[in-house]
Structure 1
């Protein structure tokens, strides 16, 4: 699938990059106990680490809040999805196990403090463009609300926006019926190319270990 990073986005945010993973012939279902256990233990560790610290002191969260400010979105009203996860954990509102793809997304998002989106690619029609949303764009998100996409980084196909590091659309969620998927890792600009590739490959390999199938990956924005 063709993926395009808009020139406006690259000019506005120097070093902006994304990890892109495409999966084929996967099987999504209940998370294995290994993943459930690691997700629970990691959340408990984060909770204790945040006892005397604000979420906004974390470097990855700080960087993504600054990105939202650069695009013109107030990060106090529109929080990066990774920050929202951390805020839940600080309140001891731990994330329950949902299903294998979502649990793994959450685990890596917490581990690297970055938003990550995963989408059923059979519901997408390329090319995919990652750009800044305009004033008239909106969608119903997985949060159940109609969300304005103005000044947010968004992912779009020919049918319109479907994803964002704020909240994803309800149009393309990965479910137990999903067989092919697209995963977008919204990396921090400070992540160098070597570590960006390492992180993206690590997520792909663990995803395939759990879900089977095949995967290909690349990092965009390192040119």
Structure 2
């Protein structure tokens, strides 16, 4: 899969750096050991963060800034990294989906980046392009129904949108039958180190919890 960043996205975020992770995996419904890790991180955050101070995390702060530059209110359409941490800080339980989705949520919470996980066999074409959502552009968010992605950063394949920092698309979502995985880490803060650390952490989790093989990642700008 080729990754491209459109001119319109470069114009609002010239510092963008992303990571594309690919792997063959075996998904499972639930991992108690993974949830033990999630619970530890949640406890640490409740002891050290508030719903206001989490906005100062550079990865979250940068994503919120890009939302505003693209024309979206980040307090109404929250980036996933921020939404997950906010939920924990409010004393709410995270939704338990499956091992693969749960570990991506853990990585997003830990580093603050919005991370998209996709079934690589469900894409149309061989290129994903990061752009900005348009008025009236159809988009069915996972578990959300049709959502307005105008002003949101969005990845598109040959058919249309597949991922935004707020919600990925139903068409390309991962399931228990997913075997070929593609993950995108979105560094709107321009931190190659932060994005690299996140990608390497995700690969560690995939090896530990999803019996991953052929794991690799590449950076793109």
> Normalising by structure 2, what TM-score?
0.91
Structure 1: 5+ residue runs without aligned partners? Answer: none
SS class of match (1:171) = helix
SS class of match (1:84) = helix
SS class of match (1:105) = helix
How far apart are the structure 2 equivalents of 1:61 and 1:197? 16
CA shift at 1:51, angstroms? 4.9
Alignment of 1:89-128 (within 5 A): 89-125=88-124, 126-128=126-128
CA shift at 1:33, angstroms? 2.9
The answer on whether the counterparts of 1:156 and 1:162 sit within 8 Å (CA) in structure 2 is yes
Instruction: Work out the number of aligned pairs and report it.
Output: 219
How far apart are the structure 1 equivalents of 2:15 and 2:152? 17
Say yes or no: does 1:180 pair with 2:180. Answer: yes
Say yes or no: does 1:8 pair with 2:14. Answer: no
Q: Provide the residue aligned with 1:138 in structure 2.
A: 138
How far apart are the structure 1 equivalents of 2:52 and 2:146? 32
The answer on whether the counterparts of 1:43 and 1:94 sit within 8 Å (CA) in structure 2 is no
Q: Provide the residue aligned with 2:72 in structure 1.
A: 73
**Alpha-carbon deviations, 1:97-133, whole Å to 9, x = none?**
3211111101110010111110111111221111111
Structure 2: 5+ residue runs without aligned partners? Answer: none
CA shift at 1:53, angstroms? 4.9
CA shift at 1:159, angstroms? 1.3
- What do you get for the CA RMSD once the two structures are aligned? 1.8
How far apart are the structure 2 equivalents of 1:208 and 1:5? 29
How far apart are the structure 2 equivalents of 1:65 and 1:143? 22
How far apart are the structure 2 equivalents of 1:150 and 1:170? 18
Alignment of 1:1-223 (within 5 A): 1-24=1-24, 26-51=25-50, 53-125=52-124, 126-191=126-191, 193-211=192-210, 212-221=212-221
SS class of match (2:46) = helix
SS class of match (1:118) = strand
CA shift at 1:52, angstroms? 8.2
Distance 1:45 1:143, change over 3 A: same
Moved over 4 A (4+): 51-54
How far apart are the structure 2 equivalents of 1:199 and 1:140? 27
- Most deviating of 96-105 and 161-170: 96-105
CA shift at 1:58, angstroms? 3.4
How far apart are the structure 2 equivalents of 1:123 and 1:190? 29
